[in-house]
Amino acid sequence: MIKKLLVIIFFLHTFSIAAEGKDKEIVQLPEPQYDKGLTVGEALNIRRSVRSFSSKKLVLREVSELLWASSGKTFDGTTAASRTYPSAGGLHPLNVYLVTGGVEDIKDGIYKYESKDHTITLLKEGDYRKSLAQAGLGQSFIRIAPVCIIITALYNRTGMVYGERGTVRYIHMDAGHAAQNVCLMSASLGLGTVAVGAFIDEKVKNILGLEKEVPLYLLPVGHPSGK
């Protein structure tokens, strides 16, 4: 009897996961182009914090490059696949979200980036930039920029291996690397961004619907105004 019950629970559980997956809206991003844009040196040299954006939308290709730079998969042709950012112990504890109110061909909403297949999954539809700007202590450029890339961390993943030192130190180093990648890719694409650390954690968590992850960085990206 118990065996039968367990089998039924197993099937119900599997069915509900499959049903959840079926309803999800997944956008395949264009292949990242590794051989376009500025050299690393040129991008480093022109990178500045940009806090003034035009209302011009981004195109999906730009979103693809930015998200790939944040934490996408890499393969140098010889060793195992890795990610665009170095990570203590190769644990890669970061997740990346996209809040958009201005990307051509996709719905406004909150998306989660999946590096394994270079896709974004729609979590919530709608323009959440205003709420995000409020969570960001009223920094109004967050509301104006067409997208905001949000880097979050799963503290347990690194903490379980490296303890408290790993949690407070390594994870923040990882996030710094990923954020700088976004800054450099923005510069290379002729876009602008600023790394924002001043926000109310709980508010950002509520907007994204996070439970275990902690938001570390907001990176609003767009066309610098006047360009």
Ligand X SMILES: Cc1cc2nc3c(=O)[nH]c(=O)nc-3n(C[C@H](O)[C@H](O)[C@H](O)COP(=O)(O)O)c2cc1C
Q: Is 169 in the site for ligand X (CB under 6 A)?
A: no
Residues 6+ apart with CB under 8 A from 193: 49, 50, 145, 149, 182, 183, 186, 219, 220, 221, 222
Number of residues that bind ligand X (CB under 6 A): 9
Applying CB under 6 A, which part among 2-10, 53-61, 72-80, 193-201 lies near ligand X?
193-201
Per DSSP, the residues of 68-113 read: HHHH-EE--SSS--EESS--GGG---EEEEEEES-BTTS-SEEEEE
Residue nearest to ligand X (CB): 197
Out of 197, 202, 206, 209, the only residue in the binding site for ligand X (CB under 6 A) is 197
**Footprint of ligand X on 19-78 (CB under 6 A):** 48-49, 51
Q: Minimum distance from CB of 20 to ligand X (Å)? A: 35
Q: 111 or 217, CB closer to ligand X?
A: 217
Applying CB under 6 A, which part among 37-45, 67-75, 148-156, 190-198 lies near ligand X?
190-198
Binding residues vs ligand X (CB under 6 A): 48-49, 51, 139, 194-198
